[in-house]
Amino acid sequence: MANVSHSSSDITSHPDAPEMQARYARMLGGRDVALVDGPAFLVGLYCAASPWIVHFTSSQPALVAHNLIMGIALGLLALGFTRAPERMYGLSGAMCAIGIWMIISPWIVGSSPDTGVIWNNIVIGALALALGSVCLLTAARSARKP
């Protein structure tokens, strides 16, 4: 009977070890923005909950659904950045686009929004734009590496 037990937990002698190390390095190459994923998720969470936090559910019903949908989209993007960064950082531009849209949406989606609604969406949009830009720049920088 063959001895299939492993006596050592060190895999450096494994024939695929260099390939696995290279793949791991590639996958985590853009992870110097790991601290951006959490705030991006929180921005999405706040965006989804903001109609009830800022209390514009009765005065701006169209913006309630809009902010809820955009918040869920931002949250899902942030979760994607965390779960599969190698694949998702290409969508950082989408986060930037959502940020720009959030800035201008009170005047397009809403009907005569008040100052609180406007500032709420401007802050959410600016944060989403800034976080998306950081992710986008990092993705572009890591794509240039050989």
- The residue whose two tokens read 């500032």 is 119
User: What are the start-end ranges of the E strands in the chain?
Assistant: none
Higher pLDDT, 1 or 21: 21
Q: Which two tokens stand for residue 114?
A: 């008040």
Question: What does the radius of gyration of the chain's CA atoms come to, in whole angstroms?
Answer: 21
Q: State pLDDT tens for residues 69-127.
A: 999 999 999 998 888 877 787 788 999 999 999 999 999 998 889 999 999 999 999 99
Q: State pLDDT tens for residues 15-69.
A: 777 887 777 666 555 455 567 889 999 999 999 999 999 988 888 999 999 999 9
Instruction: Give Cα separations from 33 to 88, 98, 106 (angstroms).
Output: 13, 19, 30
* Long-range contacts of 80-85, Cβ-Cβ distance < 8 Å, separation of 24 or more: 81/36, 81/37, 81/40, 81/135, 82/34, 82/37, 82/41, 85/27, 85/28, 85/30, 85/31
